């Protein structure tokens, strides 16, 4: 009765293991990526709910416009919320996108209303379709978000609570990349598009 394995048997076992690993690795990486996206969308939803709760406590006049008119928190309140929730909550499960953030320690979720001075015009135009928070870290292309011709993948949440899981070319920093066009009606001073 022989003991041990022949060289042929060892090579066959090794090749089978290599084939199984080659097949399963992409599947496992895809599953991990989808789990990270799911976790990020859950956090985005929680952030949107927190902003809605804040909005219900403020004396906004209900109009779309400035932060004050809409009863939305400014960056001071966002930083306060961040400290209460903990910094880990503000980092995307998708990891660190070096094309967007210079350091892994930077916060991944971007709060749109504090990003630029034209927020009132943006809010008036898109109303419930304005985006509140965005996660750029899930962009798997390795290209800068401002690249208009590269495909991007980003997550966001609108004021209405709608989650945006979008894959499209264009400048992700642009308002139109995130928001649905407003249909032309009497309430749209810009006439829709």
Q: Closest Cα to residue 153, out of 47, 45, 37, 44?
A: 37
Q: Name the more confident of 187 and 120.
A: 120
Look at residue 183 and tell me whether its pLDDT is greater than 60.
Answer: no
Whether pLDDT at 184 is above 70: no
Please state, rounded to an integer, the average pLDDT across all residues of the chain.
Answer: 82
> By three-state DSSP, how is residue 101 classified?
coil
Cα 112 to chain centroid distance, Å, stands at: 12
Q: Could you give the 3-state DSSP secondary structure of residue 48?
A: helix
Nearest to 126 by CA among 175, 172, 173: 175
Per-residue pLDDT tens for 71-88? 888 888 888 888 887 888
Contact 139, 153 (CB under 8 A): yes
pLDDT tens-place string over residues 24-63: 888 787 888 889 999 999 999 999 998 888 888 876 677 8
Q: With bands split at pLDDT 50, 70 and 90, how would you rate the model's confidence at 188?
A: very low
Q: Are 172 and 107 in contact (CB under 8 A)?
A: no
Across 147-162, average pLDDT:
89
The dihedral through the CA atoms of 63, 66, 68, 74 has a sign that is positive
Average pLDDT over residues 150-164: 89
- pLDDT of residue 191 exceeding 50, the answer is no
* pTM assigned to the model: 0.78
pLDDT score of 161 more than 80: yes
Confidence band of 181 (pLDDT split at 50, 70, 90): low
Q: Are 182 and 193 in contact (CB under 8 A)?
A: yes
pLDDT of residue 23: 85
Q: How far apart are CA 29 and CA 34, in angstroms?
A: 9
Is there a contact between 164 and 172 (Cβ–Cβ < 8 Å)?
no
Strand partners, 42: none
**Can you spell out the DSSP letters for 102-146?**
SSTTS-SEEEGGGS-TTHHHHHHHHGGG-EEEEE-TT--S-S-TT
12 phi-psi bin (left φ>0, alpha ψ -120 to 50, beta other)? alpha
């Amino acid at each position: 009765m022989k003991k041990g394995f022949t060289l042929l048997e060892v090579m066959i076992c090794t090749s089978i293991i290599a084939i199984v690993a080659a097949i399963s690795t992409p599947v496992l990486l895809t599953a991990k990526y989808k789990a990270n996206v799911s976790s990020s969308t859950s956090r985005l939803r929680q952030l949107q709910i927190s902003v809605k709760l804040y909005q219900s406590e403020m004396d906004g006049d209900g109009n779309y416009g400035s932060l004050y008119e809409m009863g939305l928190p400014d960056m001071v309140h966002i930083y306060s919320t961040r400290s209460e929730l903990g910094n880990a909550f503000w980092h995307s499960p998708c990891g660190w996108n070096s094309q967007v953030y210079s350091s892994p320690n930077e916060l991944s979720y971007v709060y749109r209303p504090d990003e630029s001075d034209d927020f009132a015009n943006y809010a008036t135009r898109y109303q419930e379709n304005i985006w509140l928070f965005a996660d750029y870290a899930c962009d798997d292309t390795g290209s800068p978000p401002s690249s208009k011709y590269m495909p991007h993948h980003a997550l966001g949440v609108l004021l209405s609570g709608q989650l945006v899981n979008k894959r499209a070319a264009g400048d992700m920093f642009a308002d139109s990349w995130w928001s649905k066009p407003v249909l032309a009606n009497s309430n749209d001073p810009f006439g829709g598009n």
